[in-house]
Each structure stands twice: as structure tokens, then as C-alpha cells.
Amino acid sequence: MGIVGSFRDAHFLAKHRQSNSTSPGTMAHEESSPPKPSHRFQRKGFSYERLIKYFFASNAGLTIVILVLIMVFLLKEGLGFFPGYRRELETYRIAGLEFVDISRKNLTAHEQLTSLLNRAYFAEINGKSNREMRRTQEASALFNAFSDRIAPTRDLILNNPQGETDANTGMLATLRANFEKQREKALEKLLPTPHLTAGERRQLIDSLRNRPAEAAEDPPLVTTLAAEFAAAQQKNSEPLQAYRSTIDTFESAGADLGAAIMEMTESVTATKEKLQSADILEKDRKTLLSAASNAKDPAEREKLRSEAEAALAEKPDIDTPIQALLERRPDCIRLHQELKTAAAGIISQIPQSLTESDANRLLKAARNAWPVFLADLDAAPQKINRWKHTDMVPLSDAILSFLTGKDWVTGGEWQDFYGILPLAVGSLMIAIVALVIAIPVGIGSAIYVNQFAARREQALVKPVIEFIQAIPSVVLGFVGILVFGTVLREISVMDSLQWVPGFPIEERLNIFTAGCLLALMSIPTIFSLAEDALNNVPSAYAEASEALGASHVQTTFRVMIPAAFSGILAAILLGFGRVIGETMVVLLVAGNRIKIPDFSAGLGTFFQPTHTLTGIIAQELGEVPLGSVHYRALFVVGILLFVVVLGINATAHHFVNRVKK
């Protein structure tokens, strides 16, 4: 930077020396100042002030140059992605992977449906055995916590063999005494057991008190309760036997298709590997050829060229395996039709509803998915027949598949897909949560501080809110993981809160936790800018309003806020930009599951884990091979983020300028 800076200085100085004598501004300035001994020297352009001016000018210029370089670099690395991805998709088609995926998609749907039905089955049984489950859970939890507390002294006793010498016996006695002491302490503090009767609890505590240190088996009550639970499960599963066998029938109906897919997978994977190694050889050959054409020495050139000739790979044979694959078509179609017949028959055997609400929800989800599944199975034969490995893959397909692809799969053995939809949806949902929290809080506190707070409150609240910005985001991130996520999850399992959609939360790290932390991070941005906007409203407006007999509240809401509206909008937009661009917190707290959230859960969707555009770059960029398609895909994600944030900032700027006019 120093070198560039001084170079630019010299450049500016040289340029300015030429124009110096004609500049009227400097002439007037120099005439007005009294002549000094160094007058002649200054005219040559080595003015100290000018030097300072050029120093700062060069710094400002440098930032612009760096920004341009960043953009050029991003584009250079990123734009190579689309041709590379196109080639990958072409290989995917030529090798027949795409053909296998037609069937695989249906098999996956079948597996998901089976899983849903199974989950409904177990939810029903466990729901009905809820009382027994709680009782056994509470008893074991109490026993486990007790065991953990006495473990240190108990282990000492167990690890020391029975004493034969006097010294050993003495030591053992001390250890036992310690053990007893710790046991007494542990017995004082035991977990609550609301579902056990007082008598049962007493019995459990007594058994713990009289338990020998060496005992390995569980206390009798724990064992009894576990047995009771198992019996209850057994009893409650009896009325569901028909349902159980239906699920089993459905599960086995997919077995044949699964086996066929397994066989096909092997052959197409082999073809793909051949194609890929041929691609690599071809690339090496091109590198050699270009080196040859650049080489100056004729002998060297000849050597490189012959090497390139030698590297010319024979075209891998792809027709034979593809023909074998295409011969399987009727087979595949038959399997699909069989599965469809089975599935269509089974839906009528599934019970209409179950008694437990959880089970019912899962069952309903399965029932809703069923027609889609059947329609997909129906459409499959046509797709299979129409599929051609020779179809072209245009570049637009690669772009479209990147922008609208629902899968981001990387480093897999089968096929990599770079679809940003799950990441974009994740980013967006986190931003929604963050903004829903941050906008009212940030703007509300800005209004309060600007309009209603006393001076002392202003002096307290403003710096405190603005201080949040100074907290490193990684610190906020681990506070989020350790405190917020855990606390939220513990709250979510409370019985009295089960009416909240999405409770109990399954994943500790999810969209909501990330959104809350990002809200905390964007509140200072929104607050400061909104407060500035209110501050910039001319005081004449407030004066006029109050002179017309408007109260302070009326003035605030009818005059100040409308007048500051553009600025407040800009504050929100910049807060949004900050949320979208934030990386560390989402990487730590969002749960990092690359999947479009299941929107059927309603508001509960916000308690699912997700991944984000920023998070994926931070997570994967360090591990990808330089220059690979995956590496370039991350760059394109970077470009996309850059463009989005730039757009948001430009819009915000537009609103800010409107205020100034």
C-alpha cells in the first residue's frame, strides 16, 4: 500500500506542477498570504499542504481500486463455474446417472412415506403409554443423577481390591466413610418426580440409601417401571397390529425397485469415473499444448508436443454400459407399476385417524403426500422412455439449475449438485426472524430516545445500544449456542407451553435462535440510523406542530415519524443488509442443515435448522480443491451475496438522499 501510495503521490505532483501556474484558486491564495523566504520553492509544487492533500487522495483512490479488484477477482473466479457445472451435468446425463435418479427419486419418496407411517405408529404407542414413559424416565433420571454424584468416591472403592493387609483395610474404611458422606449429600438433593407417588419415591430413596457400593444392577423400582413401560407399549400396540402389518407390507413393496437401483448404480458410477478421468487427461493435454506453443526452444516445444500426443486418451466406451442400462427400461417400468399398485391399495388400509395428536399430524402428512407419490409413480414410465443420454445440456440449464436447484450436495460419491435455493431460503428466513424482532425494538427505542427520553436516559441508552455493535460476532455466536439455544429448548419442553407452534423444539440450533442473535446484532444499526433520521427532521416542524396545539405524542407520530420515514426505511434496509451479510453467527447457530425447511409445520418451520449463503462459503471454502467446480460455485454464491447487499445498500442510499432533498 505504501508503495502504491507514494507512486500515486509522485504522479499527482508531476501532473499538478504543469497546471500549477494556470490555476486561479492557488494564485489568489498565494497572493493573499504574505511572501515568505521559501516562496520560490513553493511555487514548484512541493507545498506541504498539497502533499497532505495528495496523501489522502491516494488513500481514497486506493480503496476504490481495491473494490474494483475485488469485483474483477470475484467475477474471474466465479464465472468459470457455469461451463464447469454444465460439463458436470453433461457427464451426469451421458453416464446415465440421471436415468437412475428418475427411479431413485421415487424410491426416496417411498422411504420417506414409510418413515412417516412408522413415526406415526410409535408416536401413537408412546403417546398412549405417556404416563408409564414419564414414570420410568423420571425414576431413571433421578437414579442417574444420583449415580453421577456418588461416582467419584464409588469408583475409588471399586478400583481398590479387598484389603488383606491392615493398611489396605484402613484405607478402604476411609474410602467407604467418604462414600457414605457423599451419598448423604447426594440424597439431600434429588430431582423432582411429579409422576411418582410419594410412597414410590420414598421406596426409591430408601433403596438408594441402602444400596451397597458395589451394586451394579438398577434399583428395583427403576426396573419395575421400565417393565411397566414395556408392558404398556406392548398393550397399546395390540390394537394397531393391522396398521403395523400394513406398514411392513408397504415397506417391502419397495425392495425390488431398491435392488434394481443398486445394480444400475454400480455400472453408471463406473462410467462416470471413466468420463471424469478422460476429462482430466484432456485438460492436461491442453495445458501441455499451450505450453508447447509458448515454448521458445524448438526442441523443448517438440518434446512437449509429443508428450501431449502420448497423453491423448482414447475415448472411453460409454455406449455399451448405456445400452445395457436402456435395456433395463421395461424392467424399471414394471417395478414402478408394481409399486404403484401396492401403494394405491395400501392407502385405504391405513386408519383415517389416530388418537394422539402428534401421531395424527404425522399420519395426515403421509396421507397428504400420498397422491403426489402416486402421480410421480404414474409419470415415471413416460420419463424413463423419453430419457436420452445424447440430449444436449445447454449452458442455460447449468444457470437455471444453480438458481432454482433444490439440492446443494457436494463431495458426494454419486453426483454433486449446486442449487442455492435451500441456502437462499435459509438466509431469507433467518433475516425475516431477525427483522421481525429488530425493527420494532430498534425503531421503538430510536423513537423513545429521540422524542421522549430525558437527557440522562439518552446518555445511558444510546451508548449501551451502540455498544452491542462492538461485541465480536463469534462471541455472540457461542453465547447463542451455549445459553440461548439450550435455554430455549428447555423452555420449549415445558408442559404449559405446548400450545406454541413448533414446541417442543427438536433441534437446539435453528432458524429462530440464529434470527434472534442476528436481531441483536442489527438492532444497533437500525437504532442509530433511525435515530439520526429523526434527529435530522427540522426542529421547525416540531415547533409548528406544537404551536398548533398538538401534544408531544401527536407531534411525534403525526409529524416527526412521517417526516423521517424515508430515513427509517433506509435504516431497516441497512439492517437487512447487515443480517444477510452476517456469517459467523449463522455458521455457529443456524444448525447448518442444507435442506429447504418443511413449510407444512406452519410457524414451527422457524424452529428447524438451516444453512445460509454466507455460512456455506465460510464452511466449505477452506476444504475445496483450488479451481474445482465446487470452489467456483462458492465464488458465485459470493457474487450473488455481493450483488444482493449492493442492491440493498443502493436502495437505502436512495431513500437517504430523498430525505436530504
Partner 1 sequence: MNDLVDKPSVAPTTTAAAVEIRNLSFSYGSSQALKDITLDLTENEVTAFIGPSGCGKSTLLRCINRMNDEIIGTRVTQGEILVKGVNIHHPSVDVVKLRRDVGMVFQKSNPFPSSIFENVAFGLRMRGERNKSVIAQTVEESLKAAALWDEVKDRLHESALGLSGGQQQRLCIARTIAVKPLVVLMDEPCSALDPIATAKVEELIWQLKHHYTFVIVTHNMQQAARVSDRTAFFYMGEMVEFSATKRIFSNPRVRKTEEYITGRFG
What is the rounded CA–CA span in Å between residue 552 and residue 568?
Answer: 20
Determine the 3-state secondary structure of 508 from DSSP. Answer: coil
What is the rounded CA–CA span in Å between residue 118 and residue 240?
Answer: 12
Q: Which amino acid is at 526?
A: I
Residue closer to partner 1 (CB basis): 387 or 541: 541
CB atoms within 10 A of CB 296: 6
Residue 514 and residue 586 in contact, taking contact as beta carbons nearer than 8 Å? yes
What is the rounded CA–CA span in Å between residue 322 and residue 326?
Answer: 6
Q: Mention every residue, 6+ apart, whose C-beta is less than 8 A from residue 243.
A: 121, 350, 351
Backbone angles phi, psi at 433, to 5 degrees: -60, -45
Residue closer to partner 1 (CB basis): 366 or 537: 537
What is the rounded CA–CA span in Å between residue 435 and residue 431?
Answer: 6
Least distance CB 571 / partner 1 (angstroms): 19
Bridge-partner residues for 417, per DSSP? 409
Residue closer to partner 1 (CB basis): 268 or 659: 659
Residue closer to partner 1 (CB basis): 538 or 602: 538
Region of 189 please: left (phi>0), alpha (psi -120 to 50) or beta: beta
Calculate the dihedral angle through the C-alpha atoms of 419, 421, 423, 429, rounding to the nearest 10 degrees.
180
Least distance CB 10 / partner 1 (angstroms): 50
Nearest to 333 by CA among 294, 368, 377, 372: 377
Nearest to 516 by CA among 427, 437, 583: 437
Maximum Cα interatomic distance, the chain, rounded to a whole number of Å: 110
Q: Mention every residue, 6+ apart, whose C-beta is less than 8 A from residue 166.
A: none
Name the burial class of residue 264, with classes exposed (0-12), middle (13-18) and buried (19+) by CB atoms within 10 angstroms of its CB. buried
Q: Mention every residue, 6+ apart, whose C-beta is less than 8 A from residue 162.
A: 172
Determine the 3-state secondary structure of 80 from DSSP. Answer: coil
Least distance CB 455 / partner 1 (angstroms): 8
What is the rounded CA–CA span in Å between residue 329 and residue 331?
Answer: 5
Least distance CB 485 / partner 1 (angstroms): 46
Determine the 3-state secondary structure of 594 from DSSP. Answer: coil
Q: Which amino acid is at 361?
A: R
Residue closer to partner 1 (CB basis): 64 or 454: 454
Least distance CB 554 / partner 1 (angstroms): 5
Helix (H) or strand (E) holding 174: helix 166-188
Calculate the dihedral angle through the C-alpha atoms of 386, 388, 394, 400, rounding to the nearest 10 degrees.
50
Least distance CB 614 / partner 1 (angstroms): 38
Residue closer to partner 1 (CB basis): 550 or 640: 550
Determine the 3-state secondary structure of 529 from DSSP. Answer: helix
Least distance CB 563 / partner 1 (angstroms): 6
Least distance CB 550 / partner 1 (angstroms): 4
Residue 398 and residue 82 in contact, taking contact as beta carbons nearer than 8 Å? yes
Least distance CB 561 / partner 1 (angstroms): 12
Q: Which residues bind partner 1 (CB under 8 A)?
A: 455, 538, 540-541, 543-551, 554, 558-559, 562-563
Least distance CB 461 / partner 1 (angstroms): 18
Residue closer to partner 1 (CB basis): 273 or 543: 543
Least distance CB 453 / partner 1 (angstroms): 13
Least distance CB 574 / partner 1 (angstroms): 23
- Helix intervals (H) in 387-420: 395-404
Nearest to 485 by CA among 444, 530, 516: 516
Residue closer to partner 1 (CB basis): 55 or 557: 557
Least distance CB 549 / partner 1 (angstroms): 4
Q: Mention every residue, 6+ apart, whose C-beta is less than 8 A from residue 339.
A: 106, 110, 253, 254, 257, 377
Least distance CB 68 / partner 1 (angstroms): 38
Least distance CB 533 / partner 1 (angstroms): 13
Contacts 24+ apart (CB under 8 A), 57-62: 57/8, 57/12, 58/4, 58/5, 58/8, 58/9, 58/12, 59/5, 61/8, 62/1, 62/4, 62/5, 62/8
Residue closer to partner 1 (CB basis): 57 or 550: 550
Residue closer to partner 1 (CB basis): 194 or 549: 549
Hey, which bits of 309-437 come out as E strands? 408-409, 417-418
Question: What does the DSSP 8-state code read for residue 313?
Answer: P
Residue closer to partner 1 (CB basis): 386 or 455: 455
Residue closer to partner 1 (CB basis): 348 or 539: 539
